[in-house]
A and B are shown apart, each in its own frame.
Chain A
């Protein structure tokens, strides 16, 4: 089963790199990746792990940008190039890839800033049942 572990590690490495690319914070990225994998793998019915599909697409496009490289080994600018390439695929023939890739970065950002560390970075105190914020009602000047 070593190949399974190896495949999972590759997926995790690529999605770690994606999270780091999106949030530019190693600790936040580390907190995000497990949520990202879980979310992707639960998104569709059936056993196919969408996280592995997403990682494969990113790594495949990375090899186009820099032959022999995986997404995790690219510079920030090269990672941006990966997304620019994928997001310009024709909708008619690659609509599902456009859907998946188009949502990867904003899904990652959502998940990252929903973690305790993300909320702390945003200086957001979670769970409040109300705030002392009422100013009254608007009166037109």
Chain B
């Protein structure tokens, strides 16, 4: 019997489709190339090298067996790709920032609002609490002339606490340094540990769905796997360590072939609908490796990455840079993009200070030592640029590097930036510098980062490769539900929430079009992933 739906990829987008359709009673198979995490409290670590080393770290892009090398990419320029394989994908290391897109960036923004609201309730997304670094940033931004944005919809240049997919602190969380007091249920929500990029396994002893940071690993995936318990759905099936290598179409049947990364065994299953959610590098790679139609050579083209930059201030007083959610405050500048505070742990801070497009800008040697003489006297701001789609920035198949066990590998080329993108980035870096100076920084450096591919989008672009429902223009019954289907860089805001809202809409469209069902967003109330019914379902399922 064919499945109803196969979802390829359990990162930021795929689990949203899986959960929504499992809740409707469909037979959903969720494939993930990386590992499942049985016991994050024991498996994960706050040690940066253990967690984030790009070759050997828990959150590298590679197979679950860390004795093996990570999966290779052909990257023919100075750049750094920061992606994670495993259930939860890059939401494992993300900061949980969940702003909506700039309203002018999406033609159907008003129509998308109910889907935003659905996701915001499900994750849930909550207004970030303040620590020292957050108050310092917002006071300085106010001093620099920015008003406070008080709605989720961005209406003007303004600063605000982040809307984060992080549970607000309750009980002892945020109120003590003592480990023994920071155990669930005494501590609930964010404990201000400062380790968002190392994965969030806190508070200790909290049920899986009540961990502070709302990666899909603790929100959408558990809901998908227990859809028969918290609602009248059907539990989705999850296969980790399953690297999809081919998608095929024959009549109305869609087939997915995957390779078990432990045994090397190939398996093929049939489904009525396939949803590609392998991320903006692997989704076009899978498409191209599958030999699916690419009539206008648009698959993989137009990669955007927010052309991130980094501005760092050094202070003579305490900033609390290493404590609390990694990014809990931001300022948005319609027409340009955004800036957001990026607190950090020492390794990542050092990495950020030594990366640049320009050799002379890197902070090295005695100067690096001076900057890092006290992590909690720094304040870093990430610049997130509204970058233009350019066709020469693209994902193709490498003809230089040797194919791996999953076929020809992806080549990621970043060849150009528009003049407008460069100008927006300069504008935002200048605003970040103003905020740092208004906060009292003694010394400010702008890094002019080489491309750091953290927010990667638009390689299977809406309008070019998929339609407004995120269904392929070339092959019906194949959908895309990850950042690659975004039509543009959203005006600058972090992409995950918008991708998740679109994935919710895509799930609805799949259900209506191919399974004869009714839509639900706007007609029903969403169930939060922290609802007692979900907690009970997670416990009953032994997750």
User: Which residues of A come within 8 Å of B, CB atoms?
Assistant: 21-25, 35, 38-40, 42-46, 76, 80, 83-84, 87, 91, 95-96, 98-99, 101-103, 105-115, 118-119, 121-124, 126-138, 140-141
Inter-chain contact B182/A129, CB cutoff 8 Å: yes
Inter-chain contact A131/B76, CB cutoff 8 Å: no
Inter-chain contact A137/B161, CB cutoff 8 Å: yes
- Which residue in A25, A118, A122, A132 is a CB contact (below 8 Å) of B177? A132
B231 at the A interface (CB under 8 A): no
Inter-chain contact A113/B177, CB cutoff 8 Å: no
Q: Which of B192, B366, B373 has the most CB of A within 10 A?
A: B192
Q: Which of B147, B191, B324, B350 has the most CB of A within 10 A?
A: B350
B127-135, B272-280, B420-428, B462-470 - interface stretch: B127-135
Can you name 22 A-B residue pairings with CB atoms under 8 Å? A21-B365, A22-B364, A23-B369, A24-B366, A42-B69, A95-B75, A96-B75, A105-B364, A106-B355, A106-B362, A114-B48, A122-B346, A122-B350, A123-B373, A130-B203, A131-B177, A131-B193, A133-B320, A133-B323, A134-B174, A134-B192, A136-B129
B155 at the A interface (CB under 8 A): no
Known: A110-B52, A129-B202, A137-B127. 17 other contacts (CB 8 A): A23-B365, A39-B55, A83-B359, A96-B74, A96-B75, A106-B352, A107-B54, A107-B351, A113-B350, A122-B372, A123-B375, A124-B376, A131-B324, A133-B131, A137-B130, A138-B329, A141-B148
Inter-chain contact B204/A110, CB cutoff 8 Å: no
Inter-chain contact A111/B130, CB cutoff 8 Å: no
B268 at the A interface (CB under 8 A): no
Inter-chain contact B350/A128, CB cutoff 8 Å: no
Q: With contacts A113-B349, A129-B193 known, is A138 near B161, CB below 8 A?
A: yes
A24 to B350, CA, bound (A): 13
Q: Which of B150, B204, B352, B369 has the most CB of A within 10 A?
A: B369
B316 at the A interface (CB under 8 A): no
Q: With contacts A123-B375, A130-B182 known, is A99 near B351, CB below 8 A?
A: no
- How many residues on chain B are close to A (CB under 8 Å)? 84
For A101, what are the chain B residues with a Cβ–Cβ distance below 8 Å? 78
A113 to B169, CA, bound (A): 29
For A43, what are the chain B residues with a Cβ–Cβ distance below 8 Å? 54-55, 69-70
A98 to B187, CA, bound (A): 47
Which residue from chain A places its CB closest to the CB of B351 in the assembled complex? A110
